[in-house]
Amino acid sequence: MKRTILSTLIFCFVIAGFANPDGKSKINILLTEQSDASILLHEASVYRNKQEQRTFVIETLKQQASRSQYDLLECLEELQHQGAVDDIESFWLVNGISCGATEEAIRFLERHPDVMTLYRVEEAQWIFEDEATPVTRGNGREITQNLLQVNAPQVWEQGFTGAGVLIALIDTGVRLDHADLEGRLWDGGSEYPNHGYDFYYHDNDPSDDRGHGTHVAGTICGTGVSGTQTGIAPGATIMALKAFNSEGVGDETHWVAAMQFALEHGADVMNMSLGRPQPNAAQKLMMRQASDNTLAAGVVVAACAGNLRQMQFMVPPPNNIYTPGDCPPPHLHDDQLVNSGGLSCVISVGAIDYDHTIAPFSSQGPSQWTDVTAYNDYPYASGSATEIGLIRPDLCAPGVQIKSLDYHTTSGYTLMDGTSMATPLVAGAIALMLSKNPDLTPAQIDEILEHTAVPLSAHKSNDFGSGLLDALAAVTAVEFESVIENTINASIYPNPSTGNFTIQCEGMKQIEVFSIDGRLLISIPTESPVQQLKGLLNGTFLVKITTTNGVIVKEIVKL
């Protein structure tokens, strides 16, 4: 299996750019005017809740793009009329435009006063893990070893399953009819009837044609109805955003488009078990700018560190980590402060074996950003005590022989290796944390995850980061009652109850009742401050109350 990953990696380095049959090459144009995400984050912090913060950031970025791209888009439209340009696509998460252009148009556009940099788009392999070993179903009580190793079942016992948390899965798509994902896929309404979108082929069908995305989705929220519990957050919801073809190939424009979609449609977390090896400076700039602005919008990303450890003879540190996994975290660890720099939304994830040794493929940090003029931070010099680069990854999780969903069938399971398999454990753990306190910021999430990780080295290292993910310790460290109860006063009585429950809360908009494994059982829209809850069978349930002031989750028991 590891030999297959290695050979695929060697192949990816010889993929070159391509020209369209009509003589046009796809290009990315980054405009001179780019947002300062640190200022944007500071300005957004004055808003009272995360949704208002996100809305402010999105609208600010869109307004910047609309204003600053106006002249350039007029120029591109004229070139399109002349047949020199086609497929124009504007972006706001990064202030940029992609299009197909002739050589003459490219030379002309390079001289436009609003253009900071222009480069030819090179499709490359972003998804590498592909060799899978089918395995038998469990007996209905099996919990996969990776979930046990990070103490996930103990979190479920506390009543936190990720219910109400939406995770954008940017990957090769998802097997939408797998039984273990039933009820766990985003409702996109009539506009997006298939639970997401395909940004590679630009259609409404994000179905998986490689298997990678389905496996990752299963590690996030597979419910185990087919026999094996694979999902760390079985109550969370997946938004399927396909950005790569059946070979795991794509480019950063598909990735940025998927991120924009996730932000606009309410994703709380993004999982990126993907990455571009050895991007050029312009590609790095585009991907870090997108990650910086996502942080300003208040959304956190779990991204894989990469699978290049065995390729260090060709790709040594500080270039061994995939981008965007080489972008900075939302919170700087104390060990990083000797060489501090900017922040972004990315929590970078490495992989270990079940005996706590580093996986032989898991990429080795650090990364550095002195090759990107706009940032020029995290310098690295081998052997230096101060220029240590950016420590990557931030933490690690099991990533070897991981059992999860098989995309070939509607009920099967398979084994896969990779940092891609470790990353969704972290994304799912974040969902568990957010189901306890939806108001956590990316910086708080990262700080808690790193400080509660099981140390596997004396300091934060370029192998293990801060250590092994401990979902139970992370969720336990999240303050819930003190944060939520002070702003939302909700009561449910009697509790426990042998009959009906009465919910009393000012400003209620919706009441949702979830089973302990995260299945939505009841949804009640309401404008009344008092609501009766009827018809529950005996058991323990989670009640999510959405109000004009925010969200609160409470546990109830029916006897």
Q: Is the pLDDT of residue 48 over 80?
A: no
3-state secondary structure of 233: coil
Asked which of 108-112, 130-134, 147-151, 379-383 is least confident by mean pLDDT, the reply is: 130-134
Asked which of 5-14, 197-206, 477-486, 547-556 is least confident by mean pLDDT, the reply is: 5-14
Kindly state the tokens that stand for 100.
């197909």
- CA separation for the pair 444, 477 (Å, rounded): 11
pTM above 0.85, yes or no: no
Mean pLDDT, the chain, whole residue set? 91
Q: Is the pLDDT of residue 496 over 60?
A: yes
Kindly state the tokens that stand for 316.
């040594």
- The more confident residue out of 334 and 554 is 334
Q: Chain centroid to CA 117: how far?
A: 27
Q: Is the pLDDT of residue 119 over 90?
A: yes
Residue 550, pLDDT score: 75
- H or E stretch at 2: helix 2-12
pLDDT digits (tens, 9 = 90+) for 52-82: 999 999 999 999 999 999 999 999 999 999 9
- Of the chain, the percentage scoring pLDDT greater than 90 comes to 80
Adjacency order of strands within the sheet including 550-558:
520-525, 508-515, 539-547, 550-558
Q: Which band of pLDDT confidence, cut at 50, 70 and 90, is reported for residue 5?
A: very low
Residue 133, pLDDT score: 78
Q: Is the pLDDT of residue 487 over 60?
A: no
Residue 22, pLDDT score: 65
Q: Which band of pLDDT confidence, cut at 50, 70 and 90, is reported for residue 138?
A: confident
- Is the bond leading into 366 cis (omega within 30 degrees of zero)? yes
- Of the chain, the percentage scoring pLDDT greater than 70 comes to 93
Q: Is the pLDDT of residue 315 over 80?
A: yes
Q: Which band of pLDDT confidence, cut at 50, 70 and 90, is reported for residue 553?
A: confident
pLDDT digits (tens, 9 = 90+) for 169-217: 999 999 999 999 999 999 999 999 999 999 999 999 999 999 999 999 9
Q: Is the pLDDT of residue 11 over 70?
A: no
Q: Is the pLDDT of residue 90 over 70?
A: yes
- The more confident residue out of 326 and 517 is 326
- Averaged pLDDT, 255-276: 97
Asked which of 117-131, 146-160, 348-362 is least confident by mean pLDDT, the reply is: 117-131
Residue 490, pLDDT score: 87
Residue 10, pLDDT score: 34
pLDDT digits (tens, 9 = 90+) for 346-364: 999 999 999 999 999 999 9
- Averaged pLDDT, 106-119: 96
Residue 480, pLDDT score: 58
Residue 482, pLDDT score: 36
- Is the bond leading into 324 cis (omega within 30 degrees of zero)? yes
Q: Which band of pLDDT confidence, cut at 50, 70 and 90, is reported for residue 533?
A: very high
Domains of the chain with CATH codes: 17-121 (no CATH), 125-477 (3.40.50.200), 483-558 (2.60.40.1930)
- The more confident residue out of 91 and 7 is 91
- Averaged pLDDT, 475-503: 76
Identity of the residue numbered 395: L
SS percent in the chain: helix, strand, coil, step 5: 30, 25, 45
| 65 phi and psi angles, rounded to 5 deg | -65, -45
Q: Is the pLDDT of residue 457 over 90?
A: yes
Q: By the 8 A CB rule, do 180 and 284 touch?
A: no
